[in-house]
Chains A and B, each alone.
Chain A
């Protein structure tokens, strides 16, 4: 029996973006700007609210990575209470974050990015989406969707609901892992490992045929930042900050997250609502750094789990010092999925996850608290200043997509330079798609929703030195 799937209207737009490409007198690309044209205002309207509400309010920033916000917020709350949360609560939060990494990375790889490199850049936009992937390879698409579901199920098992759960709270978490939940996760793991292996096989073939993309999709020197454990092992929820440069050298290490402001400056550009963080000691814009899977794998020395460590060795061979191509974010994402699965498997035998000692109780003992966690897209900071009664006076959020803003600009410029020559004013569709993909490598929140059903709302303008708009394409 045939079934009809109707998506009407297509309105799931998590973000709107605009790109301006500046062309010099000879018609070649001089620079590019990636503009985020929406304004959210969370930092402002949270003022005056009790800190206990923040994990629930701030996770509404995103429907794809609410867990990252709720965890960073809960951590900032721990800091305001000046408590060390129970060990079981920390382990449970970690397990939640691993579920989040698996689901978000699976979404990025299978739903958002794979249609480009598996179906081809020149494929008609109507087919170049997850439905096109289903037509071309239903088994792969189903496996990808199921892998994402696995991550979502972990979140639901722990926190009661897949999206926006009120579970992580200042001081700990609300409930332990049930025995039934533990067994459900255990039973699903072999399938998740198998799907990840399929993705690795596909990716390795893709790398062979996509050498040009590796060369031009955001391949430039920059700094990298991420959390690492004291011994330099990959971290995702805990640890301290490390910066490395493109030669792989460590330039700052084991920085307490509460000291982030000494190392990260935030530049505001008139062209975008997205702030542009930079590494403060090098200034703006020389302090460009990248965060997220590529950066985390560049800054860490090992993953801490065997299968992912074997892959990390392969990955590290792709760069001289650091791996600098943003196209390899996809590879890094797969390695992180594998590591997350191994860590999940390891945690399932830990009896402490069933503990009922889960929440530290305290009032306000510090008027400022910073929490950081590795979101799938990169390091996320929540910085709260409160009064004696715990009402927010000031909120500063540094989100991962923002930290990649400068890198995304460079990526767009690099791709545009390659494909726009002689500036006749026309922007061919495959170029538009390649630019989109350059952005998509970073898996920014903007692309979360719309691209999954075909199109990222995008507005590209080609601008001459005198400010005249030579060409313009709008979609979405």
Chain B
């Protein structure tokens, strides 16, 4: 595969053709904030946290779905980008009911970590305080829609790693939400294999192990990456 040479934050780097800017930056040790991206899953560019500036392109582009090209010049950090990232985070916080102090993921939440690292010290928008419920019907796991950021990691992991297709998205705009099968209580789902990959994938406290109390959720994302790598490299298939 042909290599492409590009500039990220003033550094000349080389990346494989077809790689995303996020992959290229990551290999070069340049950190770009992400939320909906998860190693092992395909990207959808949903969260807009990984926005970058590309010279000559007036709009901001998500690094996770923008492919590298010969000679492009990219900025991953600028006052403009920081402003948009903070704004995006504030909108995420304003859209649902995120109460870190009482959350199972307090201290290990990607949304919380991003808010801290991006300097989001307050929310300028009116909180919507929507009425979302908690689905506690599954025997092992719970889903709190109040904490969901609609990154769709759970949907992608369920369809493309587990292959069960239990999780889906329904509704539009602020009414968009994650559903189980044909919008039924999770505990009634026939397709759910109880594998728990969605719980491992969730960046916030929206999906949790039942019985978990505040700050008790710890997730192991590397398991998902391990599964994908093993599958792609056919590590489980012997020669005979």
Give the CA-CA distance A248 to B216 in the complex, in Å: 47
- B142 at the binding interface (Cβ < 8 Å): yes
A389 touches B137 (CB 8 A): yes
Question: Per-position contact with B for A309-341: 1 when CB-CB < 8 Å, else 0?
Answer: 000000000000000000000000000000000
- A361 at the binding interface (Cβ < 8 Å): yes
Please tell me which one of the listed residues A50, A60, A174, A361 contacts residue B101 in the complex, with CB atoms under 8 A apart: A60
Contacts A53-B102, A56-B101, A60-B101; A48 near B133 (Cβ below 8 A)? yes
A50 touches B142 (CB 8 A): yes
B133 touches A166 (CB 8 A): no
- B58 at the binding interface (Cβ < 8 Å): no
B214 touches A50 (CB 8 A): no
Contacts A166-B214, A166-B215, A169-B213; A56 near B136 (Cβ below 8 A)? no
- A57 at the binding interface (Cβ < 8 Å): yes
Give the CA-CA distance A391 to B106 in the complex, in Å: 20
B134 touches A49 (CB 8 A): yes
- B211 at the binding interface (Cβ < 8 Å): yes
Give the CA-CA distance A57 to B213 in the complex, in Å: 11
A365 to chain B, nearest CB (A): 13
- B212 at the binding interface (Cβ < 8 Å): yes
- A128 at the binding interface (Cβ < 8 Å): no
**Which residues of chain A from 264 to 309 have any CB-CB distance to chain B below 8 Å in the complex?**
none
In the complex, what residues of B have CB within 8 A of residue A390's CB? 136
Number of A-B contacts (CB under 8 A): 39
B96 to chain A, nearest CB (A): 14
Give the CA-CA distance A53 to B101 in the complex, in Å: 10
Contacts A389-B137, A391-B136; A52 near B213 (Cβ below 8 A)? yes
B108 to chain A, nearest CB (A): 13
Question: Per-position contact with B for A40-65: 1 when CB-CB < 8 Å, else 0?
Answer: 00000000111011011100100000
Look across to chain B and name the residue whose beta carbon is closest to the beta carbon of A56: B214
A170 to chain B, nearest CB (A): 8
Give the CA-CA distance A50 to B142 in the complex, in Å: 10
Please tell me which one of the listed residues A48, A60, A166, A391 contacts residue B213 in the complex, with CB atoms under 8 A apart: A166
B101 touches A164 (CB 8 A): yes
B102 touches A48 (CB 8 A): no
B211 touches A52 (CB 8 A): yes
Question: Per-position contact with A for B119-150: 1 when CB-CB < 8 Å, else 0?
Answer: 00000000000000110110000100000000
Give the CA-CA distance A164 to B215 in the complex, in Å: 12
Give the CA-CA distance A390 to B106 in the complex, in Å: 21
Please tell me which one of the listed residues B101, B134, B212, B216 contacts residue A391 in the complex, with CB atoms under 8 A apart: B134
Give the CA-CA distance A169 to B213 in the complex, in Å: 7
Give the CA-CA distance A60 to B106 in the complex, in Å: 15
B residues apposed to A, CB below 8 Å: 101-102, 104, 106, 133-134, 136-137, 142, 211-216
A residues apposed to B, CB below 8 Å: 48-50, 52-53, 55-57, 60, 164, 166, 169-170, 174, 361, 363, 389-391
- 10 A-B pairs besides A53-B104, A53-B214, A169-B213 with CB distance below 8 A are A50-B136, A50-B142, A52-B213, A56-B213, A57-B102, A164-B101, A166-B214, A170-B213, A389-B136, A391-B134
Mind listing 25 A-B residue pairs with CB under 8 Å? A48-B133, A48-B134, A49-B102, A49-B134, A50-B134, A50-B136, A52-B213, A53-B102, A53-B213, A53-B214, A55-B213, A55-B214, A56-B101, A56-B102, A56-B214, A57-B102, A60-B102, A166-B106, A166-B213, A166-B216, A363-B211, A389-B136, A389-B137, A390-B136, A391-B134
